[in-house]
Structure 1
């Protein structure tokens, strides 16, 4: 029987929107269109599933607070720093801001800066982090952070690229690949996007994937220490990664955002410690987790002079062109903070801050081990990766939130291989970390 609550959209509007009206039996299906433009939605963005992981977690947390207004939430979820930026760094930024209020200061530091970053900062980055490898200041491009540069790199390489990612890995690698047009539709059965090669990383393979699966990939996203597993790649593993890239002609986009947390001397802090990496790798890094710049925004990307496209042209030239077109340079004040970070006093202060978070990670790692869980990471990274024996990770996330008022991150949010795990962030005040450890022991201890 015809449902009179249904309405039929006028064919003229459907033609205007470029749509057709499906037919079912003798009657048309309901089609309700509310539009104020003729612009079609980007079909690649339409492929994305739900919301971006961390805003989605925050949404669930806020809903929990609405239902439980007295809950004292402790967040071990999003990897956001909590401790103050060290004073030697904030003082330098305050002085830089004050200088902008004078004619001489504004003449020296105000206005548009170089899109590639201030020369002195690029030189200092090269001196501090790349002095022993073949990287020059001119290879370093200062930006507003690694996450932003990951999307810009996608823009530079363009669509229809064959992409490989670690699984699990930082969601921005996959989501930005989807948005630029490097994937097919999402498959709900496999929980993967078509065309992306997912390189499974687990304890069974020492969190280093079978690179043979990526033999046809043009771009390989690789993060060490890995977010979320906390695994830092060894020198031998990175030698294998670089060898693979050189043999297949692929380019590695190497995310070193947590390199300063590495203490194992057998785990390189930059991919450029590996011979030949300057011919096949781009490295991106950030002050976010080094000095608490998560909201201040300052990072850098290294594009070596030897890295070339198939036609022999320099990748660096295209990256420079893109940055000059889409970016006006990092904040002058943030760059003053970056210079202070790289001073002797600033480096010592960053080291103390990193040590504090690493102690938090040790507390969390020891807690879960004492509770009887298999735990990874937490040594060379600020993340602890906890196995819940194959249980649905969103189910575990919900249970931890409900029972303990603690926010963790469900492992499946980082890729299908992450299901059965949760990630706990060591970024937190010490009293909160200790309180979280106690709550977890009371509700989830196995031993």
Structure 2
């Protein structure tokens, strides 16, 4: 037998596993150090009351013969798909429920969608980038072309007509940089993809953090996107579902390649390889999109948005260049004093016991930069910024 040799080209450890190991070793050696984690993008606010109530209802229904649910539709229950459709209508995007597929999270679907595409396709990925985009394509042995994101272009690279691409990964608001594409910029990407007959794989996991009404929250707000894009979204950050697991993918019925409907292909893939998200979780997810659920989720999001403001304001006072934080939970900063990314990681951990994410872990263009997240508690974020100011004043 033969193994998939492509796995041997991957780094041995996933970025956040490496960070967790280093912090664990540091904490073991310094048990009195009060470490504050602003690294991994996990949430700290609990599920909101409307979600918990619906979750309990779903569990209670599973305990009664007359309301018990066994296997559900692989693409998601109709009540949740309708709730998602209505949510998109609120910012001007018209979808059919057949185009919405419920999953256990955007991370899974970002990798699973590759089942629909030949391994000979060329993939265009901005650098720095969320590692899953790269690693899942490396696992399949695809050719990856990197597009330079930099301080000069605000970490929002634009298409280059001279570059050929079949699959294009875009994330806005961006992970790791927190930068957000404008409508005009996304229109340029859609026009490029249609000209190239490429498919944009658009990660909208952080759309709920967009407060500026002039900035798009979905690729489908852009003219022509329904013919060239797939969108992934998640309730992990929107509603605190990191441990509950629920997301969704939108594959438009108008999206066709080589005469085939990608929506029908994805339906076939899901009904073959996926048994759907549990009924209680989908009940809870539907509550996110209720009037009360939206109000309560916004209250939680407001805490993270205030944390982002605190971090951004502190960096501004210290004269440290950064982007993100206004319409995103991530803040991407340039390491002070010319430090490289891992040196700055060690500097913060050793001196003020604050953990962030080295930018070099997101690609070569991330070297010399660093990511902080706003997902800690407000108390922890305030304390971390006090320590940072003391270190650099």
- TM-score, shorter chain, exceeding 0.5: yes
Deviations 1:395-447 (A, max 9, x none): 111111111111100001111111111100000111100110111112234xx
1:154 corresponding residue in structure 2: 114
SS of the aligned residue for 1:103 comes to: coil
1:362 corresponding residue in structure 2: 309
1:208 deviation in Å?
2.2
The 8 Å contact of residues 391 and 419 in structure 1, kept in 2 or not, is answered as no
Whether 1:331 and 2:331 are equivalent positions in the alignment is: no
Deviations 1:63-115 (A, max 9, x none): 11111112111100000000111111111101211111111120xxx111100
Deviations 1:153-179 (A, max 9, x none): 122224232001111111100011111
1:207 deviation in Å?
2.5
Give the alignment partner of residue 288 of structure 2, picking from 341, 345, 352.
341
1:125 corresponding residue in structure 2: 84
2:355 corresponding residue in structure 1: 407
Change (3 A) 1:343 1:210: closer
1:192 corresponding residue in structure 2: none
The 8 Å contact of residues 134 and 278 in structure 1, kept in 2 or not, is answered as no
1:96-111 counterparts in 2 under 5 A? Answer: 96-106=58-68, 110-111=69-70
Measured in 2, the distance between the counterparts of 1:213 and 1:421 equals 28
Measured in 1, the distance between the counterparts of 2:162 and 2:374 equals 32
SS of the aligned residue for 1:205 comes to: coil
Whether 1:256 and 2:204 are equivalent positions in the alignment is: yes
Where does structure 1 differ by over 6 angstroms across 4 or more consecutive aligned residues? none
SS of the aligned residue for 2:248 comes to: strand
Q: TM-score, normalised by structure 1?
A: 0.85
Question: Higher relative CO (CA 8 A, sep ≥ 6), structure 1 or 2?
Answer: 2
The 8 Å contact of residues 156 and 180 in structure 2, kept in 1 or not, is answered as no
1:38-437 counterparts in 2 under 5 A? Answer: 39-106=1-68, 110-130=69-89, 132-182=92-142, 195-212=143-160, 215-309=163-257, 311-388=258-335, 390-437=338-385
Measured in 2, the distance between the counterparts of 1:387 and 1:213 equals 30
The 8 Å contact of residues 47 and 178 in structure 1, kept in 2 or not, is answered as yes
1:263 deviation in Å?
1.1
SS of the aligned residue for 2:152 comes to: helix
1:264 deviation in Å?
1.5
Measured in 1, the distance between the counterparts of 2:200 and 2:364 equals 22
RMSD: 1.3
Measured in 2, the distance between the counterparts of 1:99 and 1:120 equals 15
The 8 Å contact of residues 155 and 180 in structure 1, kept in 2 or not, is answered as no
1:213 deviation in Å?
6.5
1:185 corresponding residue in structure 2: none
Measured in 2, the distance between the counterparts of 1:158 and 1:54 equals 29
Q: How many residues align?
A: 391
Measured in 1, the distance between the counterparts of 2:349 and 2:2 equals 39
Compare CA radii of gyration and give the structure with the larger one: 1
The 8 Å contact of residues 10 and 138 in structure 2, kept in 1 or not, is answered as yes
Measured in 2, the distance between the counterparts of 1:139 and 1:271 equals 14
1:369 deviation in Å?
1.4
Greater CA deviation, 382-391 or 286-295? Answer: 382-391
Measured in 1, the distance between the counterparts of 2:76 and 2:307 equals 34
1:232 deviation in Å?
0.8
1:214 deviation in Å?
7.0
